[in-house]
Every structure is written in C-alpha cells, then in structure tokens.
Structure 1
Amino acid sequence: MNTSTYIKLSLSAFFWGGSAIAGKIAMQTFSVSLVTMLRFSIAALALLVLYRRQIKAYAMPAKQHLRVAFTAFFGITACYYFYFGGLKLSSAFNAGIIEATIPCLTLFIATCSGKRERLTKVIGFLAAYIGVIYIVFEGKLENLLTIEYSVGDLLLLFSTFCFAIYNILVERNKRDTPNTLFMFYIFFYGSLLLLPWPVIDWMVAGNSMLLQPIEFDAIIAVLFMAMGGSVIAYLFFNQAISVVGAASASSFINLVPVITVFLSVAYLGEDISVSQWTGSLIIFIGVAVSNYEPKRERSSPTPMVSEQVE
C-alpha cells in the first residue's frame, strides 16, 4: 500500500467535503456571485503561477480552446452559479447529500446518449433520485402535490445536472490536453464566464456590496475553497490516479458527502430532520447499487470520469 497516495486521496475528499461548509461561512460576508468568482479566479491564478512555463510552452489549437470553454461553462459557470445559490438558501447537509447523486446522474445521461449500462446502475439512479425527491419535498406527499419545495434544493439539483453534463463533455473534449493544463483552462474560462454575474450584482447593489465589513473567517473560507478544494485536491487526486488507477482513486469520492454531512452537523450545528436522514439513506443505497460491479467485471479497467468537487 502506498501510504502517501492514500493520504493524498483522503485529503482531497476532506477539501472537497469541507468546501460546502466553507461556502456557507464565506457567504455570511460575501455575495454569492463574489464567492463563486473569487474561488475559481484564485484557483486559476495559482495554477498559472505553478505551471506558467508549461502553459506558455503548450500550444492548444483554437478549436480546443472553444471546446474547453464550452466544457467550463457547464462544469464551473453554470454548475457553481446554481450550487452556491442553492447553498445560500439550503443547508450544507442537503448540498452534500444531493451531490452524492452525480455519479448516478452521469451514468444516466451517458445511457440516454447511447452508452449501454447494466440494469443495476439504472435502478440505483432511480433509487437515488427518489431519495432526492424525498429530501426536497421534506418527506411530505402534500408538498409534492401542492408544489411546495425548497428553492435552494432545486438549485442544488440543477447544479448536479450541469456537472453531470460536464463529466460527459470532459470525456469527449479533453483529448490530449495534459491534466494540469486542462484544469487551468477550465478554471480560467469558468471564472471568465462568471465575470458578468458579480458585475451585474455590483450595478444593482451599488457601493453597499463593497462597504460590507470583511470577516477574517470569510477570507479563510474562500482560500480554503480556492486552494484546498480547487487546486490541492485536484492535484493530489490526479497524482493518485497515476499510482493506484482511476477506479481505486474514484472510490474515495464516496467520502465527500459523508464528510460534508458530518461537518454540517458537527461544525455548523445544522438541525437535521428525520426526512433528511431518511432521504440520505435512500440516496446512499441508490449510489451503492449503481456502483455495484459483479466480481467477473471488477478486474476490467475502469475509465476515469470526473466528479463534482466542492
């Protein structure tokens, strides 16, 4: 066992799981748009400093720039527009649970686009989304019938759809671009496409958006998301893949919602209802069924699929 590799994978899961908590803290001071913009622009800047020579030396064709920008729109711009908006209105607990369905949703979209998948994956997907619906409608049938729901949870759900589409686009558009450079351009184009959002907020809110007192905790939270959840976690995860393979590394992503849920209760002190715990159990069962592989298939190579990392 390569101990350092598994430590890196565990740290990646911690940074990703903790990013939802950091987001809740940051948005107590900064606007949703500013938190989103700062996270990915700082991450892009950090990667530019670390890999400036490789970025300068790598000549990416113009068409590939367009493909990467299109991919970044779904994986960063749209995904996190909905994610942080949903996190502002909902709980970190719900954010962690709902994002656990991303692998199932990715498989479902891949199946709809013509890729054949086992029946257990489809069943797992359906079970996971029954759990999501149970949480969104607070476990009450009357809420479903009267269309009473949490707007925040729906925004989080839209976020998972965007990131599932991003997963499919990564497989199609990454091509021969090195992992680190690909992530730089994803962060760069994603934050660039986010730029109109805080500008519009500033035009609407005026100087009041800039005159708010800046809390130290909010600054640390943004840096945690940018450097921890967006730079260090990705670098550690990609390094681990080269050592233990995509299948083994990806299994650690299942820790992310668990960490988010634990921190939301232990650190933020969020009150969790019975319907949330019940829906969570249904989702985890669905994810487990979706990821189940018969013994005869476990030895076959597993293609790497990107996961949402908060």
Structure 2
Amino acid sequence: MRVLVGGGSGFIGTALTQLLKARGHEVTLVSRQPGPSRITWNELSRLGLPGCDVVINLAGENILNPLRRWNETFQKEVLASRLDTTHMLAEAISKASQPPRAWILVTGVAYYQPSLTEEYDEDSPGGNFDFFSNLVTKWEAAAKLPGDSTRQVVVRSGIVLGRGGGAIGHMLLPFRMGLGGPIGSGHQFFPWIHIGDLAGILNHALEANHVQGVLNGVAPASTTTNAEFAQALGAALGRPAFIPVPSTVVQAIFGQERAIMLLEGQKVIPRRTLATGYQYSFPELGAALKDVIA
C-alpha cells in the first residue's frame, strides 16, 4: 500500500517507516524539509493529497522537552503542531478525488484522568479536566471526517520505550550511574509501550480492514507503577534504583502543569487493541527493557 506519514521523521516515524517498508508498503513523509520520498506541509496545503491508500499522522512537538520552559509560547507550539497538521491532513483527505482507505491518528493516554484506583479502556470517559486532556479532545476532533468512505482509527499511545530515543533516552544515564529511582511517590501508574508494538499496532490498523475507532496503544501489563518501572529498569541494567526524584524537582524542571504527566498516571487497558487480534511482541516490561538497552 502507499502510505503517507505526517511527522514521520522522528523517533516513532523512523521505526514505523522501517516496519512498513519491510512489509512491502511504499512510504512518503510529510515534513518541514523537502527530500526524496517526501512532500512538505506547504506542498500538501497547496497541491492537496498525493495518491495514497492510507494516511497516518504522528506530528507533534515533544511536550516533555526539558530544554523548553512551559510557558504560553511553548503551549501554543504544542497545540499548533498537533491540531494544525491533523486539520490539514483531514481537510486534504475530505477534498481528495480518490480518498484513502484509512486515516490513522496517534494521540495520547493523557485523555484519561490520572488516578490510583480507576481502570480505563477505550470506551472510558475523559478529555476535559486539564490542558493535556483538552488537547487530546481537540486533536481527535480535528481528525474527524464527514461520511464513512475512509476508515478512521485513533491510537492513544502510552509512554514509548525504544532504543535511541523516547522516554528512556533521558533516563539511562542516571540509572546506569546507580542514581535512578521512582519519580515522586512512585505509586502512580506508568502506561508504557515498546516502540516495536506501537509501530506494530499502526501497521495492524492500516492492514486490517475491521479495525476502526479508538485503540489504546499501551502494553497489556499496564498495572505497572512508576516504582516498579524504576526497579525493572535498574534490574535490566544491573544497577540499584532506589533514589527517588522528589516531585519538587520534577515541578522545577517541567513546570507544575506539565509535571502532572510524570507525577500522576493512569491505569490503561488495551482492551479493544487485543480484541482486534493484535499480538504484542513485548507484552511484559522485563523483556521490553532488555531489548531497549541491549
């Protein structure tokens, strides 16, 4: 199939492109920079959608970039990088003379309210209690297409674990030095997914015609707490992992509103993802971490 991927040059996009090409699909990226097998966002808005069977949008500024202060300017960038690209692709799809067969958007589990007791599946309510949940609601609304000529899928991703990027990139050094440990109380849930499985779910969504609606992009072992994650990462590296990162430090680095994403978590179950027949390569945390740090 011919697959158009928005924001496909980043950490997730690179893994997805490798998988799609390995499965014989043809990939074109929508990017800010021109290049081979790419079109720019400007070209997309000017010329419309190129011929393709599936459109996937991964575009979005990294919310947890520790080098960016959480101020109004950065918040606007975070919103625009998600909403504008999604809106532009959805509009191009609805105007296309031959619309694609499927349209897949990756959002986040921030849609669900952090809780130490609630368990969320794809049908659980959410989306209206803070900046991030509102962002996911607006993001998913921007993707909505009129009619049903194109199959629509939303994958709400957890924290992505992979080699050379994602959440692990910032954690490895302190953990290798034996300075790792839980963040805040450590009791908060840590909904995670191996990058191979996130790419796998997206590939499953584009290849399997019965898949539609919301899928939770998290591993089935979603009862992991932050403290259990820290312990498992320490064990995988052969290092102790009991030095907690106080919540005041997290708030100082990321700002109070953004720190919530690290200090509070959600217990998210991929009920519909499993029901569609997706088979996880890394359902358990230990094996996922061993692969990531190998």
Fold in common (TM above 0.5)? no
With normalisation by structure 2, the TM-score equals 0.30
Structure with the higher helix share, 1 or 2: 1
Q: Which protein has greater RCO, CA pairs closer than 8 Å, 6+ apart?
A: 1
The structure richer in strand per residue is 2
**TM-score using structure 1 length:** 0.29
